[in-house]
Structure 1
């Protein structure tokens, strides 16, 4: 993801650090994407959605 997003976009994602503190398996993908959509950056949403889908499908 770091190669597809700017430093500013990565900093926006960093504002969601509360998600990591919830622990693995404690948040559904749709909940994560709702938080990402709230950042109001379509490119972040696209990159994060793709990464979440790959992780969820374990491919």
Structure 2
């Protein structure tokens, strides 16, 4: 069984289920120093096979 995937440029912000293959270039955490270093978010730079770059953020909330 062969699985297919979607390039980052072809992803759309709709309710659907897609799979994409990419490379994680950079990964860093944002901490709130005023609240004892509490984690606020995780930021990433992602790259697909056609060199499409996207910035992704996962917020604590």
If the length of structure 1 is used for normalisation, what is the TM-score?
A: 0.26
| Larger strand share, 1 or 2 | 2
| Larger helix share, 1 or 2 | 1
Max Rg structure: 2
